[in-house]
């Protein structure tokens, strides 16, 4: 499979597992897991293609494992809009985390802080480079914000670290944005 085909399939899998499994006739369990065979059938794709996307994914978006019933299953590591409980334990974040966004959102973010929008959490990156890449998806000028995660944690905000190193929290009030 060439790179373009991998990206395309990765997007289809993301959409299926994070946003619209029900439209495809898939029934994720409470933690977002779907039997691999069900996903292959729903997307009309092959196992080799799926394995290539899971292994070659730039961001490790998906996890594949054998469930307690012996059936192989897959889920997205984060980014859902459907209700799922990923079961991630609270974790102590690094002192500083970063969030990349477009310049157009800056005034609003400075006024109301970062909100989770259509997802379950605000997504924060451990390093500036990753945050810059996330922000670049918006087009236009990229802004990388720094979050005082140490202060947030001290004040009782809960963080989780997803399986691919993205830091998740419910919201970032504006006062924790550091210049």
Which of the ranges 19-27, 66-74, 88-96, 116-124 carries the binding residues for ligand HQG, by CB under 6 A? 116-124
Which of the ranges 31-39, 86-94, 108-116, 153-161 carries the binding residues for ligand HQG, by CB under 6 A? 108-116
Shortest reach from residue 68's CB to ligand HQG, in Å:
27
> What phi and psi, each to the nearest 5 degrees, are found at residue 54?
-65, -45
Binding to ligand HQG in span 8-37, by CB under 6 A: none
Shortest reach from residue 24's CB to ligand HQG, in Å:
18
Residue nearest to ligand HQG (CB): 101
Q: Are strands 177-178 and 96-102 parallel, antiparallel or unpaired?
A: unpaired
Is 132 an interacting residue with respect to ligand HQG (CB under 6 A)? Answer: no
Is 61 an interacting residue with respect to ligand HQG (CB under 6 A)? Answer: yes
- Comparison of 143 and 153: residue with beta carbon closer to ligand HQG: 143
Provide the strand spans (E) within the chain. 34-35, 62-66, 72-76, 96-102, 122-124, 142-148, 159-161, 167-169, 177-178
> Which residues on adjacent β-strands are paired with residue 96?
148
> Which residues on adjacent β-strands are paired with residue 42?
none
Is 59 an interacting residue with respect to ligand HQG (CB under 6 A)? Answer: yes
Three-state DSSP at 30 gives coil
Q: In what order do the strands lie in the sheet with 177-178?
A: 96-102, 142-148, 177-178
Please answer whether residues 102 and 141 qualify as being in contact, where contact means their C-beta atoms are separated by less than 8 angstroms.
yes
> Which residues on adjacent β-strands are paired with residue 161?
167
Shortest reach from residue 69's CB to ligand HQG, in Å:
28
Is 123 an interacting residue with respect to ligand HQG (CB under 6 A)? Answer: yes
Three-state DSSP at 24 gives helix
- Comparison of 43 and 177: residue with beta carbon closer to ligand HQG: 177
Site for ligand HQG, rule CB under 6 A:
59, 61, 79, 101, 105, 108-109, 112, 114-115, 117-119, 123, 134, 138, 166
């Amino acid at each position: 499979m060439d790179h373009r085909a991998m990206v395309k399939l990765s997007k289809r899998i993301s959409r299926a597992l994070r946003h619209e499994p029900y439209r495809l006739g898939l029934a994720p369990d409470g933690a977002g897991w779907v039997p691999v065979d069900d996903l292959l059938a729903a997307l009309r794709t092959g196992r080799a293609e799926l394995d290539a996307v899971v292994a070659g994914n730039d961001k490790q978006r998906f996890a594949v494992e054998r469930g307690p019933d012996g059936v192989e299953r897959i889920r997205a590591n984060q980014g859902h809009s459907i209700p799922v409980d990923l079961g991630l334990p609270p974790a102590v974040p690094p002192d500083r985390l970063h969030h990349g966004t477009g310049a157009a959102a800056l005034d609003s973010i400075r006024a109301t802080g970062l909100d989770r929008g259509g997802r379950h959490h605000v997504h924060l990156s451990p390093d500036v480079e990753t945050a810059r890449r996330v922000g670049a998806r918006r087009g236009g000028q990229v802004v990388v914000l720094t979050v005082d995660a140490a202060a947030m944690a001290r004040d009782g905000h809960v963080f989780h670290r997803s399986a691919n190193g993205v830091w998740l929290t419910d919201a970032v009030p504006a006062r924790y944005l550091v210049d």
